[in-house]
C-alpha cells in the first residue's frame, strides 16, 4: 500500500529524453538545472510518501460529506493541504510576478505524476486550480490577474471548471446558465453538475470558472462566455467573507475517487450569483480551451500516475505471494508468483507502457516550454504543433492504457485483488473516470482527427511524423543490434500511421467515415508514439552501457524489447480496424441496436 516515487526514471525521462538541459537554456529557466529538479523530485517524493499516500486509502473509505450546504473532506486532508500550500508545491510553474516559482512545465509535470500516483483524489484539487490560473493568466484583465492570481498560485484559494449541465453533457452549445449584466458585473442563474472540488473545506475561497450565456447571445457554442464567480466576495472592508449566491445542493456518489468532492452547484437561487466576465463576450469557448488543454494534459499524467501506484503494489504482492512451483522446476518448492511467466507478462505490460507514457508526457511538457520561451519563432511554432497534436493522444491513450494497466495490476492479485481490503480495487475504481472526464476518449479522438488532421490538411501531423522519423533514423545507426532492430520496426509503424492518416484525409468529405474511425486512430497514435519514446530510451541506454554496465540501462533495453514485441504490433491491428470497419460503422442504422 506504500508508494515510492520513481525518481531515477523521472530524471532519466526528463533529462535524457525530454531534454531538460535544453529547456534550462530557455530564457527565464536558467535556474531549472537537473540538480535542482532532482532535489525537487526527492522532496516531492518524501511529501507524497509521508503525507499523501497514507491518506489515499482512508480517504477512499471515509469519503466526503455534505453538512449544512458545506462539503467536509476526510480526516487529515485539511492538514495535508495546508502543508502542501506552505511547502510551495502549488506554485511551481507559475509566474513569479504573482508568487509563482517560474519553473518549466517539464519540472511541474514530473512532480504532478508523483501527486497523482500518491493520492489521485487529493491531486485533483491543485489540478483544477492550475486550469483556473492558466485561464486568468492568459485571458484576464490586469485587475483580474492582480485580484485572483496571487491566492490561486499559492493555493490559498482553489479553482474549478464549471462547464457541464445535466441536459447538455459534453455539448457545451446546449448549456442554459444565464448571465445578466449588472453594473460592473453579471448575475448568473443556472445549475452545473460534476464539478470537481466544487465545494470543500481545504482552501479559504473557491474561484469558479463558469460558462454561461449572456442575454441575446448567439445560439450554440458561439454564444457562450466565461465568468469568474468566487464562492466568497469581498465585504465593505475588503475581506473575502461575503457568501456569493452559490449553493452546493448535492455531492455525487461515485464509483471511485470517493475523497474528491464532486458537486452539483446552483447559481442564483437568491437573485443571482455575482460573476465577472473574462476574455470578452461570447469568447467563452476560446477561454475554456486554455483550461481544458491544461486539464487534458494533466489527466493523461494522472492516468499514468495511478497506473504507477497500482504497478508498484502489484510488484510487491507478486514478490510476497507464494503459490505453485516454477514451471521449469515442477518438483521444487513453492515460489513467489513473480516467477510465473504469465505474472511477468502482466507486470511487463504495465512497466513498458508506464515508462513510455512517462517519457511522452514529459516530452510534451518540454514542448510546452519551448513553445512559450524559445527565442526562434519557427522553433516555437514547431513545438506548439507538437503540443496540439499530442495533447489528445496523451489524454486519450494514457488514460485508456492506464485503465488496462490497473486492471492487470488487480489481476496479479488474483481473487485478492477483487477484495477491497488489499487496495488494488481502489486503483481500478479511481482510474475508471480518467478516460471520461475532461472529454471522453471519443471526444479526444474527434479532436485529433477533426482539428489536428483534417482542418489543416495534415500539416501539424506531418511535423510530428517528421520528428519521429528523425529520431528513428538516428536509432537505426546505433551500434546496438537491439536498438537498430527497434528502429526498423518503428519506421514501419510510422509509415503505416502516416498512410492511415492520408487515407482519412482523402475520405474527409464524408464526415461519418472520419468520425467512425477516429478512436482506433488515436490508439494507433498512442501505440506508435510510445514506441518512438521507447526506441529513444533504448538508444540512450545502449550508449550509457557502452561506457559502464548498469542494471538500470539493461532493464531499459529489456523493457523496450518487450514493448516492441508485444505492444507496437498493435498498430497494424488498429490500422486494419480503421480500414475495414469505418464504413460499416458509418452506415449502420440505429435500429440495429434494438432488441428483437
Write the CA distances from 200 to 122, 220, 223, 339, integer angstroms. Answer: 12, 32, 31, 46
The DSSP symbol for 555 reads H
Give the integer Cα–Cα distance in Å for 434 and 440: 8
Measured in degrees and rounded to the nearest 5, phi and psi for residue 206 equal -125, 125
- DSSP 8-class letter at 263: E
pLDDT of residue 441: 97
Start-to-end CA span in the chain (Å): 48
In whole angstroms, give the CA distance from residue 400 to residue 441. Answer: 8
**Among candidates 4, 25, 32, 30, which has minimal Cα distance to 108?**
32
Q: Is the torsion defined by CA of 588, 396, 307, 495 positive or negative?
A: positive
The β-bridge partners of 272 are none
Neighbour-count burial of 555, counting CB atoms closer than 10 A to its CB (0-12 exposed, 13-18 middle, 19+ buried)? middle
CB atoms under 10 Å from CB of 594, counted, come to 7
Q: Is 438 a catalytic residue?
A: yes
Say which of 438, 492, 580, 591 is annotated catalytic: 438
589, 546 Cβ separation under 8 angstroms: no
229 bridge partner residues: 208
Cα separation, 557 vs 563, whole angstroms: 10
Torsion angles phi and psi, residue 6, rounded to 5 = -80, 70
Count Cβ atoms within 10 A of the Cβ of residue 94 and give its class: 0-12 exposed, 13-18 middle, 19 or more buried: buried
Are 161 and 129 in contact by the 8 Å Cβ rule? The answer is no
Alpha carbons 241 and 410: distance in angstroms, whole number? 46
C-alpha cell at 417: 485483488
72 φψ region: left (φ > 0), alpha (ψ -120 to 50), beta (else): beta
- At 311, give phi and psi (nearest 5°): -65, -45
State how far the Cα of 308 lies from the Cα of 5, in Å rounded to an integer.
9
Find the farthest-apart pair of alpha carbons in the chain and give their distance in angstroms, rounded.
Answer: 85
pLDDT of residue 96: 97
Alpha carbon of 386 to those of 363, 365, 522: distances in Å? 10, 10, 15
pLDDT number for residue 578: 96
Q: Is the pTM of this model over 0.85?
A: yes
Assign domain 158-282 one CATH number from 2.40.110.20, 1.10.287.990, 3.40.50.620, 3.40.50.300. 2.40.110.20
Query: What is the C-alpha separation between 118 and 48, in angstroms, rounded?
Result: 6
Do residues 190 and 176 make contact, with C-beta atoms less than 8 angstroms apart? yes
Q: Nearest-CA neighbor of 226 among 258, 266, 272, 188? A: 188
Provide φ and ψ at 84, rounded to 5°: -60, -45
Q: Where are the domains of the chain?
A: 7-154, 158-282, 440-583
Beta strand pairing status for 205-214 and 178-182? parallel
Q: Can you tell me the distance from the alpha carbon of 381 to that of 460, in angstroms, rounded to the nearest whole number?
A: 10
Contacts of 274 (CB under 8 A, 6+ apart): 185, 186, 187, 188, 229, 230, 233, 244, 245
Q: Which fold has domain 7-154?
A: Butyryl-Coa Dehydrogenase, subunit A; domain 1 (1.10.540)
**Which residues are CB-neighbours of 584 under 8 A, at least 6 positions away?**
none
CA distance 215 to 202: 35
- Which three-class secondary structure state does DSSP give residue 270? coil
H-helix segments, 14-141: 20-24, 34-47, 53-62, 77-86, 105-118, 120-139
The confidence score (pLDDT) of residue 1 equals 66
Q: Are 325 and 419 in contact (CB under 8 A)?
A: no
Q: Is the dihedral of CA 319, 320, 325, 329 positive or negative?
A: positive
- Cβ contact 140:148 at 8 Å: yes
Q: What angle do CA 426, 428, 433 make, to 5 degrees?
A: 105
The vertex-395 CA angle with 301 and 281, nearest 5°, equals 110
Of 471, 477, 503, 470, give the one whose Cα is nearest residue 575.
503
Dist CA 504 CA 184 (whole Å):
49
Ordered mean pLDDT values, 10 residues apiece, the chain (596 residues): 94 98 97 98 98 98 96 98 98 97 98 98 98 96 98 98 84 84 96 97 98 90 95 95 97 97 97 97 91 95 98 98 93 94 98 98 98 96 96 98 98 97 97 96 96 95 97 96 97 98 91 94 98 98 97 98 98 96 93 90
Rounded to 5 degrees, what angle do the CA atoms 542, 365, 390 make? 90
Nearest of 56, 36, 27 to residue 110 by alpha carbon: 36
Q: Rounded CA gap, 54 and 90, in Å? A: 20
d(CA 120, CA 29): 29
Amino acid at each position: 500500500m506504500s508508494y515510492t516515487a520513481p525518481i531515477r526514471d523521472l530524471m532519466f525521462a526528463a533529462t535524457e529524453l525530454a531534454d531538460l538541459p535544453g529547456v534550462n537554456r530557455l530564457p527565464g529557466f536558467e535556474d531549472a538545472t537537473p540538480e535542482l529538479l532532482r532535489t525537487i523530485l526527492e522532496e516531492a517524493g518524501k511529501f507524497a510518501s509521508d503525507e499523501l499516500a497514507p491518506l489515499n486509502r482512508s480517504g477512499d473509505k471515509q469519503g466526503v460529506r455534505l453538512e449544512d450546504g458545506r462539503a467536509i473532506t476526510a480526516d487529515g486532508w485539511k492538514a495535508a493541504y495546508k502543508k502542501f500550500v506552505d511547502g510551495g508545491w502549488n506554485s511551481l510553474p507559475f509566474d513569479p510576478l504573482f508568487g509563482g516559482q517560474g519553473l518549466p512545465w517539464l519540472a511541474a509535470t514530473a512532480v504532478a505524476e508523483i501527486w497523482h500516483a500518491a493520492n489521485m483524489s487529493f491531486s485533483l484539487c491543485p489540478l483544477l486550480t492550475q486550469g483556473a490560473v492558466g485561464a486568468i493568466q492568459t485571458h484576464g484583465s490586469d485587475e483580474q490577474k492582480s485580484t485572483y492570481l496571487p491566492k490561486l498560485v499559492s493555493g490559498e484559494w482553489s479553482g474549478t471548471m464549471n462547464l457541464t449541465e445535466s441536459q447538455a453533457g459534453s455539448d457545451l452549445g446546449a448549456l442554459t446558465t444565464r448571465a445578466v449584466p449588472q453594473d460592473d458585473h453579471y448575475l448568473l442563474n443556472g445549475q452545473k453538475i460534476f464539478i470537481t472540488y466544487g465545494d470543500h473545506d481545504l482552501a479559504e475561497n473557491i474561484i469558479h470558472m463558469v460558462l454561461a450565456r449572456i442575454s441575446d447571445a448567439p445560439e450554440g457554442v458561439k454564444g457562450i462566455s466565461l465568468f469568474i464567480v468566487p464562492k466568497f466576495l469581498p465585504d465593505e472592508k475588503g475581506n473575502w467573507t461575503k457568501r456569493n449566491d452559490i449553493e452546493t445542493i448535492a455531492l455525487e456518489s461515485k464509483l471511485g475517487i470517493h475523497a474528491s468532492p464532486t458537486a452539483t452547484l446552483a447559481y442564483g437561487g437568491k437573485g443571482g450569483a455575482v460573476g465577472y466576465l473574462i476574455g470578452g463576450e461570447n469568447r467563452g469557448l476560446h477561454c475554456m480551451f486554455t483550461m481544458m488543454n491544461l486539464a487534458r494534459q494533466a489527466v493523461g499524467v494522472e492516468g499514468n500516475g495511478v497506473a504507477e501506484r497500482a504497478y508498484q503494489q502489484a510488484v510487491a504482492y507478486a514478490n510476497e505471494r507464494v503459490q505453485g512451483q516454477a514451471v521449469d522446476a515442477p518438483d521444487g518448492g513453492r515460489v513467489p508468483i513473480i516467477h510465473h511467466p504469465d505474472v511477468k507478462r502482466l507486470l511487463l505490460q504495465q512497466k513498458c507502457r508506464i515508462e513510455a507514457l512517462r517519457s511522452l508526457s514529459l516530452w510534451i511538457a518540454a514542448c510546452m516550454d519551448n513553445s512559450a520561451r524559445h527565442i526562434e519563432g519557427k522553433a516555437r511554432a514547431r513545438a506548439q504543433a507538437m503540443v496540439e497534436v499530442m495533447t489528445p493522444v496523451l489524454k486519450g491513450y494514457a488514460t485508456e492504457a492506464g485503465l488496462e494497466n490497473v486492471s492487470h495490476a488487480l489481476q496479479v492479485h488474483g481473487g485478492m485483488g477483487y477484495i477491497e481490503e488489499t487496495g488494488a480495487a481502489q486503483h481500478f475504481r479511481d482510474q475508471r473516470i480518467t478516460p471520461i472526464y475532461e472529454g471522453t476518449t471519443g471526444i479526444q479522438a474527434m479532436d485529433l482527427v477533426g482539428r489536428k488532421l483534417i482542418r489543416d490538411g495534415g500539416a501539424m501531423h506531418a511535423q510530428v511524423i517528421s520528428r519521429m522519423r528523425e529520431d528513428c533514423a538516428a536509432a537505426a545507426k546505433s551500434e546496438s543490434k537491439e536498438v537498430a532492430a527497434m528502429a526498423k520496426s518503428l519506421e514501419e509503424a510510422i509509415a503505416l500511421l502516416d498512410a492511415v492518416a492520408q487515407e482519412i484525409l482523402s475520405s474527409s468529405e464524408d464526415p461519418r467515415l472520419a468520425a467512425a474511425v477516429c478512436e482506433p486512430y488515436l490508439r494507433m497514435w498512442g501505440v506508435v508514439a510510445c514506441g518512438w519514446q521507447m526506441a529513444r530510451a533504448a538508444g540512450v541506454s545502449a550508449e550509457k552501457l557502452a561506457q559502464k554496465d548498469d542494471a538500470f540501462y539493461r532493464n531499459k533495453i529489456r523493457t523496450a524489447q518487450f514493448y516492441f514485441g508485444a505492444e507496437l504490433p498493435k498498430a497494424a491491428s488498429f490500422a486494419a480496424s480503421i480500414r475495414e470497419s469505418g464504413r460499416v460503422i458509418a452506415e449502420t442504422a440505429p435500429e440495429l441496436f434494438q432488441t428483437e
